Amino acid sequence: MQFIKDFTGLKAFVKASATINKVRVVAVCPHDDHTREAIEAAIKEGLAEFTLVGIPDKMGSLPSLAAHIIEEADTDHAAYLAVEEVRQGRADVMMKGLINTDNLLRAVLNKEHGLLPAGKVLTHITAAKVPGRHKLVFFSDAAVIPFPKPEQRTAQVAYLAQVCRAFGIEQPRIALIHCTEKISPKFPVTLDYQMLKEQCAQGLFGNAIVDGPMDAKTAVDIHSAQVKGINSPIGGDADALLMPDIEAGNVFYKALTCFAHADIAGMLMGASCPVVLPSRGDSTDSKLCSLAMACATAIALKQ
Amino acid sequence: MQFIKDFTGLKAFVKASATINKVRVVAVCPHDDHTREAIEAAIKEGLAEFTLVGIPDKMGSLPSLAAHIIEEADTDHAAYLAVEEVRQGRADVMMKGLINTDNLLRAVLNKEHGLLPAGKVLTHITAAKVPGRHKLVFFSDAAVIPFPKPEQRTAQVAYLAQVCRAFGIEQPRIALIHCTEKISPKFPVTLDYQMLKEQCAQGLFGNAIVDGPMDAKTAVDIHSAQVKGINSPIGGDADALLMPDIEAGNVFYKALTCFAHADIAGMLMGASCPVVLPSRGDSTDSKLCSLAMACATAIALKQ
């Protein structure tokens, strides 16, 4: 497949794929303006078809555009019904509307009736398009896992590789971010990074380049990597950045949006389908991009 | 004094102050092109006068421009002699040239002959000018203290307030950065933040607003603070951000430089004078801005 280097390309890819096999999204309580607008845009652009779970009267003009409606006034039960759609193979992506994130995740994480297979790790992946940059940058985790354990980092790298491949990057370059290049017990994260590199060498992440520790500039700036004399297969051209913890991930996310005017998409990986959890502050287009990101990933997961 | 909102204003302020009382900078081993160029520019712009410690033959045309030259071939001893200039009251700012940072810091941190008064904390402060933003943003610490202890955070906030005041900000707004707004034992940093707010209320930081935890977007984006319904005296218009740890600080720094095309200045606070430690990768202008930042701070410290 072709390499998707921005959100315009992403939406075009998902739309083109839809002519063969349309992704099915189940939306939980699409009762607020922003969610409704994003869904309406997604339907009109032909990105996906929707099953809406919630109160039809609160969905504006959406019911006439949706493939299915499941009426349910109780939000917690709406989440449960949406999870069931995925479990029964009737939905490929889940999207949050006007329901508390914790309540939605409770349904997703339910051990008996949820979407998280035993041993799987739920983590957040962001895709950012910074004006002037030649491609997207993916990173994890700005939102869910506070201080990842080694096995959680392994899962994060695996998901980053998966999502990069869903975007047509055959050999994803994943940089392990830390404030220096040294591996040292003073910074336990660097020992985890050593482990991740070994796992990559063993083929755990498929055809991928995983290297670090390195700082974010060395990861994405070809010139900087050269000046510092750092000889890494990442070559200052990383596709994805693994963040040391949620504080670094969150600050990176906010710096990109507030200061670098990046367009952003994000979703959860690890459940049996990608889950889109837009924030109140996200623009309609950001929600649409998140939906498209989840759809592209769902398409890759189906293959 | 007037409010300095960018690096042009900063250099103009330092230059204007120099007509009354020129800041004296001692430079250790200015033997590389970048350091020489920055010093030459600083002298030509009339920002400061220089004492150069090192090998005159390696200083290009600088010796003819400098106020004093101290010949010393051994870099470690050059650092020691530069420290002595500060201790004897003959220099207000120290600048690193072609000497290993660790070796310079060893001289600065020496318990008997160094520049760090007992109990003082050495920490790094960055000033960034992001294109389009109405003022500088200061933050700490992207480079020196890995995981600050509570008393180190107190020092960091105090230095941020000092530096903001040196830039003419009468009542600095200092945001305590964390991925959410919740104070919780799950994130010990938030308990430190509670303490810092109490210390601010007790007047420890002078006339300043210290609030958090909050994420970086809420700190610097008026609109975002309103959308989230966050009622903070920071009001989405922070002057300075306290970073939870070096990982977040470093990632923030790199995001601003690589993705937001920010101009950057930085220095160490806590020693008896500001210390400028440019990196190899810094441009001449970035080094000049760091020098000007240290000079403005030195001017404020003298008053």
Tens-place pLDDT, residues B251-277: 999 999 999 999 999 999 999 999 999
Q: How confident is the model at residue A10 (pLDDT cuts 50, 70, 90)?
A: very high
Residues from chain B contacting residue A143 (CB–CB below 8 Å): 179
Query: A263 and A275 share a domain?
Result: no
pLDDT of residue A274: 97
Contact A244 B247 (CB under 8 A): yes
Phi (first) and psi of residue A138, to 5 degrees: -100, 145
CA distance A135 to A292: 16
CATH code for the domain in which residue A174 is found:
3.40.718.10
Contact B260 A257 (CB under 8 A): no
User: Are A167 and A296 spatial neighbours (Cβ–Cβ below 8 Å)?
Assistant: yes
Q: How confident is the model at residue B5 (pLDDT cuts 50, 70, 90)?
A: very high
Q: Is the pLDDT of residue B123 over 90?
A: yes
B interface with A, Cβ–Cβ below 8 Å: 130, 133, 142-143, 146, 177-179, 186-187, 189, 215-217, 220-221, 224, 227-228, 243-252, 254-262, 280-281
The pLDDT mean for chain A works out to 95
Residues from chain A contacting residue B217 (CB–CB below 8 Å): 254, 257-258, 281
pLDDT of residue A290: 97
pLDDT of residue A225: 75
Residues from chain B contacting residue A245 (CB–CB below 8 Å): 247
Give percent above pLDDT 90 in chain B.
89
pLDDT of residue B65: 94
Task: Identify which of A146, A217, A227 has the shortest CB distance to residue B280.
Answer: A227
Query: A79 and A171 share a domain?
Result: no
Q: Is the pLDDT of residue A281 over 80?
A: no
CA distance B148 to B242: 11
Domain span at residue A181 reads 122-268
pLDDT of residue A164: 98
Average pLDDT score over residue span B141-153: 96
pLDDT of residue B103: 93
- Distance in Å, alpha carbon of A75 to nearest chain B alpha carbon: 22
pTM over 0.90: yes
pLDDT of residue B207: 97
pLDDT of residue B118: 86
| Cis bond upstream, residue A30 (ω within 30) | no
Q: How confident is the model at residue A67 (pLDDT cuts 50, 70, 90)?
A: very high
Residue A17, C-beta contacts closer than 8 angstroms, at least 6 positions apart = A23, A295, A296, A299
Average pLDDT score over residue span B166-192: 97
Q: Is the pLDDT of residue B119 over 90?
A: no
Query: B109 and B162 share a domain?
Result: no
Q: Is the pLDDT of residue A128 over 80?
A: yes
Q: Is the pLDDT of residue A194 over 80?
A: yes
Query: A170 and A93 share a domain?
Result: no
CA distance A271 to B183: 29
pLDDT of residue A70: 97
pLDDT of residue B39: 96
pLDDT of residue A238: 98
Query: A164 and A288 share a domain?
Result: no
Residue of A251, A263, A283 to mutate for B, most B C-beta atoms under 10 A: A251
User: Are A169 and A143 spatial neighbours (Cβ–Cβ below 8 Å)?
Assistant: no
Contact B146 A187 (CB under 8 A): yes
Contact B179 A215 (CB under 8 A): no
Contact A179 B143 (CB under 8 A): yes
What residue of B is the nearest CA neighbor of A249?
B248
Average pLDDT score over residue span A197-217: 97
Residues from chain A contacting residue B178 (CB–CB below 8 Å): 247
Tokens of A76: 């917690």
Tokens of B147: 């995981």
Average pLDDT score over residue span A200-208: 98
Contact A250 B133 (CB under 8 A): no
Tokens of B143: 């480079």
The pLDDT mean for chain B works out to 95
Task: Identify which of A189, A248, A281 has the shortest CB distance to residue B248.
Answer: A248
Average pLDDT score over residue span A15-25: 92
Contact B254 A130 (CB under 8 A): no
Alpha helices (H) in A45-141, listed in sequence order:
75-87, 101-109
pLDDT of residue A227: 75
Query: B171 and B244 share a domain?
Result: yes
pLDDT of residue B283: 85
- Distance in Å, alpha carbon of A156 to nearest chain B alpha carbon: 18
Q: Is the pLDDT of residue B224 over 90?
A: no
User: Distances from the Cα of B54 to the Cαs of B61, B64, B98, in angstroms?
Assistant: 14, 14, 10
Residues from chain B contacting residue A184 (CB–CB below 8 Å): none
What residue of B is the nearest CA neighbor of A186?
B146
Query: B129 and B260 share a domain?
Result: yes
Q: How confident is the model at residue A226 (pLDDT cuts 50, 70, 90)?
A: confident
Tell me which residue of B283, B292, B295 sits closest to B34, measured CA to CA. Answer: B283
Query: A237 and A196 share a domain?
Result: yes
Give percent above pLDDT 70 in chain B.
100
Residues from chain B contacting residue A247 (CB–CB below 8 Å): 177-179, 189, 243-245, 247-248
Average pLDDT score over residue span B58-62: 94
Residue of A179, A187, A220 to mutate for B, most B C-beta atoms under 10 A: A179
What residue of A is the nearest CA neighbor of B128?
A259
Query: B108 and B128 share a domain?
Result: no
In the three-class reduction of DSSP (H, G, I as helix; E, B as strand; rest coil), residue A133 is classed as coil
Query: B234 and B152 share a domain?
Result: yes
Q: How confident is the model at residue A166 (pLDDT cuts 50, 70, 90)?
A: very high
Residues from chain B contacting residue A284 (CB–CB below 8 Å): none
**Strand order across the B240-242 sheet:** B68-71, B48-54, B23-28, B93-96, B275-276, B263-269, B123-129, B137-140, B240-242, B173-177, B209-214
CATH code for the domain in which residue A56 is found:
3.40.50.10950
pLDDT of residue B43: 95
A interface with B, Cβ–Cβ below 8 Å: 130, 133, 142-143, 146, 177-179, 186-187, 189, 215-217, 220-221, 224, 227-228, 243-252, 254-262, 280-281
Top-confidence residue, A223 or A121: A121
Total number of domains constituting chain B: 2
Q: A103-114, pLDDT tens digit by residue? A: 999 999 999 999
Average pLDDT score over residue span A125-134: 97
CA distance B12 to B276: 19
Query: B135 and B261 share a domain?
Result: yes
Query: A29 and A152 share a domain?
Result: no
CA distance A110 to A229: 49
